[in-house]
Amino acid sequence: MSLLTAKAIGKNFGGVVALDDVSLTVENGEIVGMIGPNGSGKTTFINNLSGLYAPSNGEFIFNEEDITGLAAHVITAKGISRTFQNLRVFPNISVLENVLVGLHCRINVSLWDVYFRFLKTRKAESQAKEKAMAVLEVADLASRKNDLAKNLPYGKQRLLEICRAIVSDPHLLLLDEPCAGMNPVEMDELADFIKVLQKKGITVFVIEHNMRFIMSVAERIIVLANGAKFQEGTPAQIQNDKKVQAIYLGDEGDI
């Protein structure tokens, strides 16, 4: 059974068809890439999957469970977390606190515990801090844990956003253009980091425009065009596909 099955996902905004009959599967432990020209519906797909929108048609099956149209916070608790295309770290709180927010749904403390069971709450807090620090160590951000997130360099903020997403131990991590605005060195670091995540058992679904990056990271690539699935294959197959080249060169002119 696949980790994620998307069955004929469709999404209309009024009369505009943003996604049309997109079906795909993601297997446990793989790194799947999604590419496509601007406006082809990549981000809309992720937004539907992560619960920010409800799809108009079709269904998402995750871990053999129908998660179509559930609220975003419920889907996160079930083990899908994500980052955003336009960086969305919490700017005015520290790096450590950003990651701790990511752990929110894994800290098992109720309001009752907060007021009447101090020891349980304190223990849960210190465990959460240890866990958050462990993730920051892996991303080499531990030394900057007390800095405000907005004071980190851009590439580090991107990394922080990923840390915040993976600290809750998701089964599936959705990355929406993680390379946007990064320099080549930061891109290579990110590619290495994603491979570390794969070794830790996280399945990664990554949207990216940068071909060099996606070809080096992804094991399988899905191409979207005009809201529909256009092609699917290994990086080598996609690179040599004349039709894929055509939609890219036709629309944008840069590969």
- Contact flag: residue 109 with other proteins (CB under 8 A): yes
Which C-beta is closer to other proteins: that of 38 or that of 86? Answer: 86
Tokens representing residue 42 in the block: 């990549």
- Contact flag: residue 104 with other proteins (CB under 8 A): yes
**Rounded CA separation 221/31 (Å):** 9
- Contact flag: residue 123 with other proteins (CB under 8 A): no
Tokens representing residue 228 in the block: 């529909």
Q: Which of 28, 69, 112, 114 binds other proteins (CB under 8 A)?
A: 114
Tokens representing residue 118 in the block: 């101090």
Q: List CB contacts of 127: < 8 A, sequence separation 6 or more.
A: none
**Rounded CA separation 177/174 (Å):** 10
- Contact flag: residue 11 with other proteins (CB under 8 A): no
In the block, tokens 């990651």 appear at: 99
**Rounded CA separation 244/228 (Å):** 13
Distance of closest approach, residue 245 Cβ to other proteins, in angstroms: 34
Distance of closest approach, residue 151 Cβ to other proteins, in angstroms: 14
Give all strands of the β-sheet with 220-225 in edge-to-edge order.
Answer: 80-82, 172-176, 203-207, 31-35, 220-225, 228-233
Binding mask 135-174 for other proteins (x = CB under 8 A): -----------------------------x---x------
The DSSP element (H or E) to which 165 belongs, if any, is: helix 154-166
- Contact flag: residue 180 with other proteins (CB under 8 A): no
Which C-beta is closer to other proteins: that of 121 or that of 239? Answer: 121
Tokens representing residue 50 in the block: 């992560």
**CA pseudo-torsion sign 153, 148, 191, 218:** negative
User: Footprint of other proteins on residues 38-67 (CB under 8 A)?
Assistant: 50-52
- Contact flag: residue 68 with other proteins (CB under 8 A): no
Stretch that binds other proteins, among 15-23, 61-69, 114-122, 239-247 (CB under 8 A): 114-122
Distance of closest approach, residue 121 Cβ to other proteins, in angstroms: 6
Contacts with other proteins by CB under 8 A: the residue count is: 37
Stretch that binds other proteins, among 70-78, 152-160, 208-216, 235-243 (CB under 8 A): 70-78
